[in-house]
Amino acid sequence: MIRTCFDEMYDGAGQVRPHYREFARWLAQTPPELLAQRRREADLLFHRAGITFTLYGDEQDTERLIPFDIIPRSIPLSEWQIVERGCIQRVKALNLFLADLYHEQRIIKAGIIPAEQVLANEQYQLAMQGLDLHRNLYSHISGIDLVRDGDGTYYVLEDNLRTPSGVSYMLEDRKMMMRLFPELFAAQRIAPIDHYPSLLLDTLKSASPIDNPCVVVLTPGRFNSAFFEHAFLAREMGVELVEGADLFVRDDHVFMRTTDGPKAVDVIYRRLDDAFLDPLAFNPDSMLGVPGLLAAYRCGNVVLANAIGTGVADDKSVYPFVTEMIRFYLDEEPILKNVPTFQCRKPDELSHVLANLPHLVVKETQGSGGYGMLVGPASSAAEIEAFRARVKAKPHAYIAQPTLCLSTCPTFVDNGIAPRHIDLRPFVLSGKETRVVPGGLTRVALREGSLVVNSSQGGGTKDTWVVED
Amino acid sequence: MRLSISHETTYHYEDPVRASIQYLRLTPHDSERQQVISWQLDLPRPVRAQVDPFGNILHVLTLDEPHDAIVIRARGQVDIDELREAEHEGQSAFPFLRCTRLTEPDEALRGFADQHCQQRRDRNALIDLMHALNQSMVYTPGATEVDTCAAQAFAGGAGVCQDHTHAFLACARSLGIPARYVSGYLYSEDSTHLTSHAWAEAWLEDAWYSFDVTNQMARPQRHLKLAVGLDYLDACPVRGMRRGGGHEQMHAKVLVMPTPVIEVQQQ
């Protein structure tokens, strides 16, 4: 991997890239005090709107603003079209994989993925075996995390097929930019994204075989870190936001309690993990789900978006097989690359990983949110040794990848503007067709040199622009 | 041999229950060992049978009207091939390698499994394990609760059939052998008494073999299977939730009626 990072705005010679020229011109012409004032306005407006996220790991979990940076991450349309096709291809293959895994298991019989890798996987849900879903869709809403290496090549860092979040920040960031800097949107053609909620509603409705189905958003409640997004999306789509206690199952059908009496529910956009969905089938201590929901689901009387059991396909130990899935199910070459991945459950790969820890990023196969991982080059010798012991104790629970030099984008920092590492999460909606809203959520690691962009660990966001060439 | 069974469970509540929902696994299905001649489940409301993720027959009972008692009656006749020791199934056994909260092995259980099985992964190894667990965990009703996990029960050296089974599962899976929880009935040697019971099955040489730790039986000689799962929570006869009701009292009556089977003599 190349050691110098790709900068989104400046090329190797320090010149502004063509798709950033309009923005660069505007930035040069705008007085710093005006910029500072608008940035303060943004903070105030975000606070007022309650666009917050819970940061774990402090002494108490604190609700904070997710820092928003006004310098956009810009992508030329021609480049975006390739990324878009690549994401659609990937999600199509992953949905075909899930349908296959829970039915004939052809990919296992063909010897491409070892049976034990998926069938003994904790995320493999027996409840889905043999269950036929409408349109064979499992992940209706997918978030594909992309990064760029030193030569500008896009790599898929990870797939998110369970309850991917962040789209509300994408939408609010754009609204904020248009409100604060309307002149930027007049100067060039930036692809709109505000139709996401109606695309989402369309996708959720098409997930059901029923005509004009009743759709609800199921949230764990106000204390969940992404509650803002659950409420936001329900409001934007014009559907009810419910908690588990608002729903009940009778005779294998799901109903919502309303002031007009029980109302049948057909599609649940659930932002609850599988384990919490039904206390009679999964975690018995969960107060967040609906007793009897699994029975109703297996009878085909309600659609869950996303389906139960998608976690086996976005598991980090299955990630290395995704490019093979694209070839196997679609007979196409993958458009987007996987990051080369070492699977510690394989003895020869494990010894390579243990011998090279200072140069690798090591992740738990069941981890998320940037927790439980080692970033070799940024760790002390003591941290590396401690992690070595963990990997040796449970090798099958870890994968490792070379450190990528994530691309950077100029960002406002304490002393002015400086490059900070970013990633990109496009949101892919799978319904009658598979569609992607242009751009996605760009997350930025605000600490200098940090490669961890997750909002739960203090990252921020930027508006993402797909600019016509 | 043919068994004729009647199993009546009554739940009494000190206050009216506003609403309740139960997952019931009280109906056996046909298998290589068991042929269901007839089976009826009498419930407060008519309920359609479903199949759950483990292939068990499931009834979901939802009661929306206030009630202070629930009576569930299961009865039927099952032919059991007592000589059959192993059961084959088309489904993959890999999912039964995973551990659940109730069956997570700790160092003590792992060590115990290693000590009694060493490098062996065959039926004899598991029979030794079964006997050893029976010795280490004295059958003691009341020593554990329904949510006691295998490690806790093993550490306490006592438990009931549920704990014996969970401990066996934790050990077997730690050795890389798929194993599952079985809920059903155990009948007495003279077939006049029947009790609810739990035991384990392990996947060896492409078939499921029985291991009843409580009774130290490595063959399902007196066992009638109702349901299987990863642990008690997946296979238990009744799992439900209710709103209201206060204190709950449960009474169960299990009867087996003698049913002589006339054997047709070959001339």
Mean of per-residue pLDDT scores for chain A: 92
Which residues of A are less than 8 Å from B97 in CB distance?
116, 120
Which residues of B are less than 8 Å from A291 in CB distance?
21, 240-241
Residues A75-100: pLDDT tens digits? 999 999 999 999 999 999 999 999 99
Residues A208-229: pLDDT tens digits? 999 999 999 999 999 888 899 9
Q: Are strands B158-159 and B138-139 parallel, antiparallel or unpaired?
A: parallel
pLDDT at B265: 55
- Give the residue from B223, B217, B218, B227 showing the smallest Cα distance to B187: B223
B262, pLDDT greater than 60 = no
8 Å CB contact of B62 and A292: yes
For B64, name the nearest residue in chain A, comparing CA atoms only: A250
pLDDT at A79: 96
- CB-nearest partner of A280 from B48, B92, B239: B239
Q: pLDDT confidence of A450, banded at 50, 70, 90?
A: confident
8 Å CB contact of B23 and A127: no
Q: pLDDT confidence of A52, banded at 50, 70, 90?
A: low
Which residues of B are less than 8 Å from A250 in CB distance?
62, 64
Which residues of A are less than 8 Å from B92 in CB distance?
115, 119
The C-alpha atoms of residue B70 and residue B77 are separated, in whole angstroms, by 24
A129 phi and psi angles, rounded to 5 deg:
-60, 120
Q: Is A247 an 8 Å CB contact of chain B?
A: no
Residues A458-469: pLDDT tens digits? 689 999 999 998
Residues A132-170: pLDDT tens digits? 999 999 999 999 999 999 999 999 999 999 999 999 999
Which residues of B are less than 8 Å from A128 in CB distance?
53
Q: In the beta sheet, which residues pair with residue B208?
A: B87, B203
B15, pLDDT greater than 70 = yes
Q: Does A426 or B251 have the greater pLDDT score?
A: A426
8 Å CB contact of B50 and A252: yes
Q: pLDDT confidence of B260, banded at 50, 70, 90?
A: low
Contact, A76 vs A469, CB < 8 A?
A: yes
Across the range A196-211, mean pLDDT stands at 97
A405, pLDDT greater than 90 = no
Which residues of B are less than 8 Å from A289 in CB distance?
none
A57, pLDDT greater than 60 = no
Residues B223-253: pLDDT tens digits? 999 999 999 999 999 999 998 888 999 898 8
Q: pLDDT confidence of A54, banded at 50, 70, 90?
A: low
Q: What percent of chain A has pLDDT over 90?
A: 79
Distances (CA, A) of A16 to A154, A452, B156: 20, 26, 70
Q: What percent of chain B has pLDDT over 70?
A: 96
The C-alpha atoms of residue B133 and residue B161 are separated, in whole angstroms, by 11
Picking from A103, A108, A116, A119 by the largest number of B CB atoms within 10 A of its own CB, the best residue to mutate is A119
Across the range B45-68, mean pLDDT stands at 94
pLDDT at A60: 56
Domains of chain B: 2-82+236-258 (2.60.40.2250), 92-234 (3.10.620.30)
The alpha carbon dihedral of A120, A123, A127, A132 has a sign of: negative
Write out residues 96-155 of A within 8 Å (CB-CB) of B: 115-116, 119-122, 124-129
Mean of per-residue pLDDT scores for chain B: 92
Domains of chain A: 195-305 (3.40.50.11290), 342-402 (3.30.1490.270)
pLDDT at A455: 63
Distances (CA, A) of B111 to A267, A363, B108, B117: 48, 28, 5, 10
Residues A342-389: pLDDT tens digits? 999 899 999 999 999 999 999 888 766 566 789 898 889 999 999 999
Distances (CA, A) of B151 to A164, A330, B132: 35, 47, 15
For chain A, the distance separating the N- and C-terminal CA atoms, rounded to the nearest angstrom, is 29
